[in-house]
Amino acid sequence: MGPHPSGGLRGGLALTTEVACMFFGAVSGSSPATVVAIGGLMYPALKAKMYDRGFSVG
């Protein structure tokens, strides 16, 4: 495996989630589709890294 995209940056998982949402939203053109697609994948990871629930779900 190569280096992690967030590179150990503080808040890297949150930043990675934000960038993924930005690109997916631009491609799909649908905010609800972005929430379902990216949120379903990233929420468990954010939860595992002990991010606050309010922060993780918006």
7 pLDDT band (50/70/90 cuts)? low
Q: Summarize pLDDT for 9-44 with one digit per residue, the tens.
A: 778 888 888 888 888 888 888 888 888 888 888 889
- DSSP designation for 7: T
pTM metric for this prediction: 0.67
What's the token pair of residue 19?
A: 């960038």
Amino acid letter, residue 47? K
- Say how far apart CA 4 and CA 10 lie, in whole Å: 13
